[in-house]
Amino acid sequence: MQAHALATIGLAKRDLGDPSAVEDMERALEIAEGLAGFPQPTMLSDRRAAIEGIGLSFEQGLALEADLGRTSVSTGAAGAGRFAAGEGRGGQGSGV
């Protein structure tokens, strides 16, 4: 099937033949590459909190994130220190 036909019947989100869809894809890849550059321990902790937090109240979700984040506090603190020193300001050096 053609991409347009797949998008029309709901089997694809976008037809990448559409120029705006290509721009969207390129931007999504830029963001993904930027996120991939962040420390994996903190990213994996956040991912786990998001997945396990589905269905929890806001307060329970925050508690879960705090609990899971304890294992990556030193990694996060080091990154916060770099940010305080100027790294990543205005998207500079962050890849996003």
Q: How much is the average pLDDT of 65-75?
A: 87
The confidence score (pLDDT) of residue 67 equals 93
The confidence score (pLDDT) of residue 96 equals 47
Task: Give me the number of domains the chain comprises.
Answer: 2
Q: Are residues 52 and 5 located together in one domain of the fold?
A: no
Burial of residue 45 (number of CB atoms within 10 Å: 0-12, 13-18, 19+): buried
Q: How confident is the model at residue 9 (pLDDT cuts 50, 70, 90)?
A: confident
CA 53, CA 25: separation in Å to the nearest integer? 28
Q: Are residues 11 and 26 located together in one domain of the fold?
A: yes
Q: Are residues 72 and 92 located together in one domain of the fold?
A: yes
Q: Are residues 57 and 27 located together in one domain of the fold?
A: no
Q: Are residues 50 and 27 located together in one domain of the fold?
A: no
Residue 62 has pLDDT above 90, yes or no: yes
pTM for this predicted structure: 0.55
The confidence score (pLDDT) of residue 16 equals 67
Q: Are residues 46 and 77 located together in one domain of the fold?
A: yes
Find the domain containing 1 and state its range. Answer: 1-36
Of 41-50, 53-62, 87-96, minimum mean pLDDT range: 87-96
